[in-house]
Structure 1
Amino acid sequence: MTLNVAIVGAGLVGSAFIKQLAASKLDVAVVLIARSSKTIVSMDFSPLNLANVDFSAASEGGWTPAQIAEFLSKSPVPAVLVDNTSNEGLAQAYPEFLAKDISVVTPNKKAFSSTIELWNKLFDKSNKALVYHESTVGAGLPIISTLNDLIATGDRVHKIEGILSGTLSYIFNEFGSSDVAFSAVVKKAKELGYTEPDPREDLNGLDVARKVTILSRLAGNLVAGPTAFPVDSLIPKPLESVESVEDFMAELPKYDTDMAKLRDDAKAEGKCLRFVGKVDLTGTPSVKVGVEKYDLSHPFAALQGSDNVIAFTTERYPSPLIVQGAGAGDAVTAMGVLADLIKIVQRGGRK
């Protein structure tokens, strides 16, 4: 085997990743699979059977990040942590893995949108291990790799603009296509499973702000974090302190007229509403997240369903380079993670 792999997270994305990895025949050995309360581990680094991942026989109590890092540090071949969670504590521990020459692959946005200090540790040139995180922005869409290629080849990025939330993409596509109430669209999105169990986690704009933070930093504009620039929240201010999801959903219809006015005003101008993130590097750099109006001829106006779309305007691409497609979902997110792991295998697990 060329690499030993530890997989943390066996939920929806994690399970999809394990299934795809098993089918890929990639020359790696999975030696640890962990979820929140249980860990399956091969202490002698022999490959675990991905066709039959059974946590019922695992002992209670999950391994800590420090324990996983210590175990992988003893690997006889280069090792990789694949973090398929959104766990803050594990994300903060990535430098501990890198310090032990353990590479990291993850869709977890928490580390890359955290402090500048953590960002610098992740991408310290002295690290021998590799870090890949394509799926932190746009699931399996080649957004980060495209941006990195543009910069690495000497192009100059002027603007990055995109619809980066599958949830909000769906909501605004539905909301703009008829006279349906905004609260009714949110309710439908929740019933279809497009939103988080608490839709406010989507409506507050923080998920998009995290993704925009990552893109801004990759483009050289080291913003302090996702709260360091303007972010429009779609949660009415009087409802920000509502405790339960049920109460929030019950009260949301009272504020439908505000969103309806925004939609009607846009329609009167021959435009549509979209929830976007923007990075503008022309002149003084600026970053913002919120509702914008677009002409019906704009690529963003033609978006369907829960797709994502991002436009890179650069010196070489004055007419923006567009990346569009499914930006959310277990299978496409897992695909992006697997593609990153393949890149590490191709590089032998080291810089």
Structure 2
Amino acid sequence: MAPPRQVFIAVIGAGGVGKCFLTQLQQLASKLSQSPSSPTYLSLIYLSTSKKALYHPDYKSLSNWESELHASDKPTLPPTNLADYLVKAPGKVVLVDNTSNQEIAESYPTFLSKGISVITPNKKAFSSSYALWRSIFTAASNGSGAGGWVFHESSVGAGLPVLSTLKELLETGDTVRKIEGVFSGTMSFLFNSFAPTSGGGAAFSAAVKTAKEKGFTEPDPRDDLNGLDVARKLTILARLAGLEIDSPAAFPVQSLIPAELEACADGDDFLARLPEFDDRMEKLKRDAEKEGKVVRFVGSVDVGKGEVKVGLEKFDTGHPIAALKGSDNIIAFYTQRYGDNPLIIQGAGAGGEVTAMGVTGDLVKVLRLLQ
């Protein structure tokens, strides 16, 4: 029987994904502590929101974090100070970043080089400059360094095993020729409402409004319609497939925001004026219908040609991408082994519980590696 061990957990972000993760962490901790052969005790020692933090100088475990965080008057530690605090913890530390914060993302190399493992759904860390990508993996043990481990499964496709599948294809010697799919739950829902395979569908502006009301879009829907969220995911996939993509601005990304509305004061102003431009999207839908097709907002990486693009494409109504339901994501890997029939991963690509599941799954991977 292995001696019991303790692993310390620090969590940044206690919002939608963060709350779901903390619940899953509690369940995982309970399960691991009861292992008859090698119990592991997970100890939450740091928790912060954008405004305040909860931690103790003696690294005491945080038990009633919700009420304690509410009562806390400690400010959030800047990344450098947090790294200094965590590196002195009496054991291995895993930092879980549940934010989309750029400053924290840029600090990953600092944490990793100090032996602190990092798991996160934060796309910015892996889709910003190629220099940041390189410095993260230069420091990490699963890169070329000897620091902490880094995993970011939930940065693409929430809880879907997209990155782990791509890594396994490559590590086992397959040649990935092309990756194509619908990478945004928002865009999936939007186009399933606007251009269903059965024909008809809502006006584009009405579909956007419904998506916002259901909580599928960002507070300002332009943050989804500009295509940047999908471009970030494609950047991550392309880099993992071996392409040195400089940034999400390095390839064609089609924005669905009418040029005339780029300068709207806010999201509400944008939504109020969007119906003026419905005829443009309506024409695209009608043109596709004449060919027996539907329009979908997709991203693709052609590995052989080194090309990445994001935008509207037309698909036959029987195509798996056309037949997607609700806000599901679908990712198709065209590889040498799989031939003309791609390996397809499909399912919920957004939502707190499934995104947190991807993060918790990464924590399980790190715990195995830390043994």
TM tier relative to shorter chain: over 0.9
> Of the two structures, which has the highest relative contact order with CA contacts closer than 8 Å and spacing of 6 or more?
1
Amino acid at match of 1:140: G
TM-score (normalizing by structure 2): 0.92
The answer on whether the counterparts of 1:134 and 1:140 sit within 8 Å (CA) in structure 2 is yes
Greater shift in the superposed pair: 36-45 or 267-276: 36-45
Q: What secondary structure sits across from 1:185 in the alignment?
A: helix
Shift of 1:95: 0.7
Of 223, 233, 236, the residue aligned with 1:214 is 236
**Cα distance, 1:273 vs structure 2:** 1.0
Partner of 1:337: 359
- Residue 304 of structure 1 corresponds to 325
Corresponding position of 2:70: 56
Q: How far apart are the structure 2 equivalents of 1:86 and 1:123?
A: 19
Q: Offset of 1:46 from its aligned partner?
A: 2.8
Whether 1:293 aligns to 2:318 is: no
> Pick from 182, 196, 205: which aligns with 1:163?
182
Matched position secondary structure for 2:86? helix
Give distance in 2, aligned partners of 1:54 and 1:164: 37
Q: Equivalent of 2:15, from 11, 16, 22? A: 11
Distance 1:285 1:213 in 2: 12
**Counterparts of 1:216 and 1:133 in 2: how far apart (Å)?**
15
Most deviating of 214-223 and 292-301: 292-301
| Aligned-pair identity (%) | 52
Aligned residue identity for 2:188: S
Partner of 1:183: 205
Distance 2:70 2:338 in 1: 53
**Counterpart-to-counterpart distance in 2, 1:279 and 1:171:** 22
Q: Give per-residue Cα distances to partners, 1:136-190, cap 9 Å, x unaligned.
A: 0000000000000001111111000010000000000000122421000001111
For residue 137 of structure 2, what is the aligned residue in structure 1? 123
Correspondent of 1:108 among 122, 128, 131? 122
Indicate the larger mover: 52-61 or 323-332: 52-61
Is 2:346 the counterpart of 1:324? yes
User: Which residue of 77, 93, 102 corresponds with 2:91?
Assistant: 77
Unaligned runs of 5+ in 2: 33-39, 139-143
The Cα RMSD (Å) is: 1.2
Cα distance in 2, alignment partners of residues 158 and 96 from structure 1? 35
How far apart are the structure 2 equivalents of 1:133 and 1:222? 18
User: Which secondary structure does the structure 2 equivalent of 1:63 belong to?
Assistant: coil
Gaps of 5+ in 1: none
* Aligned partners of 1:22 and 1:51 also within 8 Å: no
**Pair 130,50 (structure 1): closer, same or farther in 2 beyond 3 Å:** farther
Deviates more, 1:208-217 or 1:117-126: 117-126
Is residue 134 of structure 1 aligned with residue 153 of structure 2? yes
Is the 1:6–1:32 contact (alpha carbons within 8 Å) kept by the matching residues of 2?
Answer: yes
Distance, in Å, in 1 between the alignment partners of 2:262 and 2:125 is 26
State yes or no: 1:153 paired with 2:175: no
Q: Tell whether the 8 Å contact from 2:119 to 2:150 is kept in structure 1 after alignment.
A: yes
Letter in 2 for 1:141: L
Residue 247 of structure 1 deviates from its aligned partner by: 1.6
Q: 1:51 and 1:75 mapped to 2: Cα distance?
A: 19
Which stretch has the larger CA shift, 137-146 or 2-11? Answer: 2-11
Q: Which of 42, 46, 57 is matched with 2:60 structurally? A: 46
TM-score, structure 1 as length reference: 0.97
Aligned partner of 1:96 in structure 2 is 110
Runs of 4+ in 1 over 2 A off after TM superposition: 50-54
1:118 counterpart letter in structure 2:
L
Give the aligned length.
Answer: 348
Q: C-alpha displacement at 1:7, in angstroms?
A: 0.2
Deviation at 1:78, TM superposition (A): 1.2
**Deviation at residue 57 of structure 1 after TM alignment:** 2.3
- Given that 1:19 and 1:50 are in contact with CA atoms closer than 8 Å, whether structure 2 keeps it comes out as no
Looking at structure 1, the residues matched to 160 and 129 of structure 2 have their Cα atoms a distance apart, in angstroms, of 25
| Aligned counterparts of 1:158 and 1:56: Cα–Cα separation in 2 | 50
User: Secondary structure of the equivalent of 2:223?
Assistant: helix
Alignment of 1:216-295 (within 5 A): 216-282=238-304, 284-295=305-316
The structure-2 alpha-carbon separation of the partners of 1:221 and 1:43, relative to structure 1 and needing over 3 Å to count, comes to same
Give distance in 1, aligned partners of 2:216 and 2:207. Answer: 11
Measure, in 2, the Cα distance between the counterparts of 1:293 and 1:165: 17
Query: 1:227 and 1:343, CA in 2 relative to 1: closer, same or farther beyond 3 A?
Result: same
Deviation track 1:250-306 (CA, whole Å, cap 9, x = no partner) reads 111111001001111111111111111100023x21000001111112111110000
Separation of aligned partners in 2, 1:248 and 1:263: 22
State how far apart, in whole Å, the 1-side matches of 2:17 and 2:70 are: 20
The structural deviation recorded for 1:100 is 0.6
